[in-house]
Amino acid sequence: MTDFDVIVVGAGVSGINAGYRLQEQSPDLSYTILEGRHAIGGTWDLFKYPGIRSDSDLHTFGFPWRPWTAPNTIAPASAIKQYVVDSAKAFGIDKHIQYGHQVKKVSWSTPSKSWTAEVDAEGKPKTITARFIVYASGYYDYKTPLQVKIPGIENFKGKVIHPQFWPEDLDYTGKNIVVIGSGATAITLIPNLAEKASHVTMLQRSPGYIMSLPQKDPMGEFFKLFLPASWAFWLIRLKFLTLPFMFFQFCRAYPGAARWIMTKLTAKDLPSGYPMNPNFNPKYNPWEQRLCVCPDGDFFKILSSGKASITTAHIEKVTENRILLKDSDEVLQPDIIVTATGLKMLMVGGTQVIVDGKEVDVSEKFIWNGALIQDVPNAALIVGYTNASWTLGADATSQLVSRLLNTMKANGQKSVIPRVPADTSMKTLPLLNLNSTYVVEAKGVLPHAGSEAPWLPRTSYFFDVNQARNGSITHDLEYA
């Protein structure tokens, strides 16, 4: 006997979706969601920097079982969090959440075919047992940012802020701000900071691709005007599932043409005469790193206003009040430096995983069908996509887990363990197919994908959700 059939770790988007799929597809199984913090929402409750928003459309980032009905395609964090809270409440998922329960260690016992989770519950030790564990804890460290070497940053006498730990009482009115970085966080921050700051400079080592998208989807509004709501939302979601996927495939198949298209679109959005090179001439092809999105071109508009600018250079040294650049006479004199340099990646929420008394290093393991951890019984790791909304991958995993649990119950089986065949010639592939700095820095942290099925990395929601519902659940799996 165990306390629950399933433990879900984390009450963010992935955890709430996992709870829904368990209720929907395995209603006779009990589950609990253990959340270390005191609120639903994960990322959307943690981050507080100005303008924080999704960089994926909400029609696919939202839940397939509760459509995103607001007219805006890209949404602020506050709206996303409220949507997740309302979704959990509407389906009673919130009643299964135990807040202030930080999982420290999980231990599997083969004789009892169960997990024991050692939990810090509001400062008190507690143990909770279950048959299956689902890690919906995201992919980054909530407590520690990515440490990037910036020469002399310790000498700076002004404020140095990482967006992950933004002071809510910070007054930056009239200040000169330098944002170091060129990813989604920087592209989001700059238009919002520029509303109050004297000037904002985006300091980037190398440029990325930035795509302007309309905040409201005209075709979607047309659907909602003339079709029944359920049809309209289905068509809108289908559109956002297919068109970005087709564009991604085009970028990978024809990188030269994709680069040309992106360059033309960027030049059209920029103010007349704004230098494309080097500020908008990436060294990599589209979708080798994640594309940045700016709704209604807000990033380009703030450049046009003169309230923000871009500097492309490597930092030579930071002094008490200046940033000196390599091979450049330009000197930046910020009052505030914002290090938008990425996230420190972390798997399984940093918990210690023990199987029959032996600690498991998850970074040394392969991931079966993007979901189960090699050699670890009854354990799933939710991993989303780099080229699409995270929720899509989370939903494919949750549906696969429910199917496995139902099959095991029907067959009287108590455990399932993914095993890589001893005679395999399978090669190791990266779990996430990006060369972004934070992914490269996570080498030795992330588990692996393989070069052969069912260990291949995730690339397509259509393929993965079909595998979850209809694919083999015996290939390289050991049941007991």
pLDDT greater than 90 at residue 221: no
Assess whether pLDDT exceeds 90 at residue 153: yes
434 and 378 inside one domain: yes
Domain span including residue 171: 153-214+255-339
CB 424 within 8 A of CB 46: no
Q: Does residue 51 sit in the same domain as residue 171?
A: no
* Residue 285 domain-assigned (yes or no): yes
| Shared domain check, 325 and 207 | yes
Domain match, 97 and 83 both: yes
Most distant CA pair in the chain, distance: 72
In a domain, 121, yes or no: yes
Both 20 and 116 in a single domain?
yes
| The amino acid at 241 | L
Mean pLDDT, rounded, for 378-384: 94
For residue range 31-80, list pLDDT tens digits in order. 999 999 999 999 999 999 999 999 889 999 999 999 999 989 999 999 99
pLDDT band for position 185 (cuts 50, 70, 90): very high
Q: How confident is the model at residue 177 (pLDDT cuts 50, 70, 90)?
A: very high
Same domain membership, residue 350 and residue 289 = no
- Of the three residues 339, 358, 377, the one that is the final residue of a domain is 339
Same structural domain, 359 and 286: no
Q: What pLDDT shows up at residue 374?
A: 97
203 and 297 inside one domain: yes
Q: Are residues 264 and 384 in the same domain?
A: no
Residue 331 has pLDDT above 70, yes or no: yes
Band (pLDDT 50/70/90 cuts) for residue 168 is confident
Instruction: Indicate if the pLDDT at residue 29 is higher than 90.
Output: yes
Residue with tokens 């607001």, as numbered in its chain: 70
Q: Per-residue pLDDT for 392 more than 80?
A: yes
Nearest Cα to 160, choosing from 36, 371, 340, 329? 340
Same domain, 158 and 139: no
For residue 238, tell me if it sits in a domain: no
Question: Do 417 and 350 lie in a common domain?
Answer: yes
Q: Which amino acid is at 339?
A: T
Paired residues of 103 in beta bridges: 119
What is the total count of domains within the chain? 2
Asked, for residue 241, whether it belongs to a domain, the answer is no
Confidence of residue 110 (pLDDT cuts 50, 70, 90): very high
pLDDT, mean of residues 451-461: 91
Q: What whole-number distance in Å separates Cα of residue 172 and Cα of residue 187?
A: 18
Q: Could you say which of 339, 364, 391 is where a domain stops?
A: 339
Q: Is residue 260 part of a domain?
A: yes
Nearest CA to 205 among 327, 43, 95? 327
pLDDT of residue 437: 67
| Mean pLDDT along residues 326-349 | 91
Residue 288 has pLDDT above 70, yes or no: yes
Q: What is the pLDDT, as a whole number, of residue 136? A: 96
Q: What is the CATH number of the domain that holds 23?
A: 3.50.50.60
Per-residue confidence band for 438, with pLDDT thresholds at 50, 70 and 90: low
* pLDDT at residue number 436: 66
Same domain for 302 and 161? yes
Q: HEC profile for the chain? A: CCCEEEEEECCCHHHHHHHHHHHHHCCCCCEEEEECCCCCCCHHHHCCCCCCECCCCHHHHCCCCCCCCCCECCCEHHHHHHHHHHHHHHCCHHHHEEECEEEEEEEEECCCCEEEEEEEECCEEEEEEEEEEEECCCCECCCCCCCCCCCCHHHCCCEEECHHHCCCCCCCCCCEEEEECCCHHHHHHHHHHCCCCCEEEEEECCCCCEEEECCECHHHHHHHHHCCHHHHHHHHHHHHHHHHHHHHHHHHHCHHHHHHHHHHHHHHHCCCCCCCCCCCCCCCCCCCCCCEEEECCHHHHHHHHCCEEEEECCEEEECCCCEEECCCCCEECCCEEEECCCCCECCHHHCEEEECCEECCHHHCEEECCCEECCCCCEEECCCCCCCCHHHHHHHHHHHHHHHHHHHHHHCCCCEEECCCCCCCCCEEECCCCCCHHHHCCCCCCCEEECCCCCCCCCCHHHHHHHHHHCCCCCCEEEC
Does the pLDDT at position 434 exceed 80?
no
